[in-house]
Amino acid sequence: MYFYVQTNTYLRELPVISGCSPLSNYIQKLMQYNILTTKFFLLFSFLLTSSCVFGQAVQKRYHLDMRSGITTGSPIIIRNIPDGATGKPGIGFNAGLEFTYRIFPRISITLGAAYAEKGSSFTSPVSGKYDAARGVFGERFPFPLRVKYTGSVAANFNMTYIDFPVMTNVHFKKWQMGMGYQYSTMLTGKFDGAVDVKALLLNFKDQQFDESENIKDYDHALILKVGRQMSKRLLVAVNIAVSTQRLLIQPEEGFSNPRNVFANLLVGFRIL
């Protein structure tokens, strides 16, 4: 006589022996196997679900953006602007990375690093006292003759920096606003131009000068940012950085020492 037991994979034929011990042992082992299988499946499902939820939560807390755009602005003076002075803001390339971490649902911190080209050109009237005797006879002439001079200067600033902004941001539905501090280290700096000067009957036309070594090789600035999330990965932003220090190591005779004021027009793309 034979007894048939159906499992998940096949039918197995077992002989019936007195006491039915082989059949009882087989059914017991089969039940234990099914219980272990069920427990393993439930554990695997729990771990998989937990990892997905945790991954989504972590992913929402931070992101890395690649940004690029233009920098425009100028070193400017706030007070004592000479009458007739004109300036033309420069336009340069800007590109870098920004890492943003959400510490609260609406508050985040951003750390960035970016290459920025900054510059401008200007013309300005100049005036002051000039040693006419040494201008004519040389620096070793023993008797100075200081006379008043007037004229104009045409100059250019051309600088490249690596900017390191640190900002705290407030997030709205699609908009965000941030403010913070920016440290900049200068890679290259150029400050040159030409001066036309008149003193008494003396005229000095197109006198070239180069004061590049007088530019500070670092900058500290306060920064304000406004951005709008265009899509899940695309962000458009404008930030303005106003330097807290003067640009030149020593002020040039005839005009005030300026400070950097520049704006960045940026498009950011989320890469992580």
| Element of type H or E holding 246 | none
Residue found under tokens 């620096």: 139
What pLDDT is attached to residue 9? 45
Angle (nearest 5°) at CA 199 between 196 and 203? 45
Spatial CB neighbours of 14, under 8 Å, sequence gap ≥ 6: 2, 3, 4, 5, 22, 23, 26
Confidence (pLDDT) at 200? 72
What confidence tens digit (pLDDT) does each residue in 162-221 have? 999 999 999 999 999 999 999 999 999 999 999 887 877 778 788 898 999 999 999 999
- Write the DSSP assignment of 81-108 as a string of letters: PPTT-EEEEEEEEEEEEEEEEEEETTEE
pLDDT tens, residue by residue, 214-242: 999 999 999 999 999 999 999 999 999 99
In the chain, the largest separation of any two C-alpha atoms, in whole Å, equals: 137
Distance CA 169, CA 227 (A): 10
Q: Residue 129 half-sphere exposure, CB side, CA atoms within 13 Å? A: 3
Q: 61-270 belongs to which CATH class?
A: mainly beta
pTM (global) more than 0.85: no
What are the structure tokens assigned to 11, written together? 């039918």
Cα dihedral 108→113→117→119 (10° resolution): 60
Q: Which residues of the chain, if any, have pLDDT below 50?
A: 1-20, 51, 53-55, 57-59
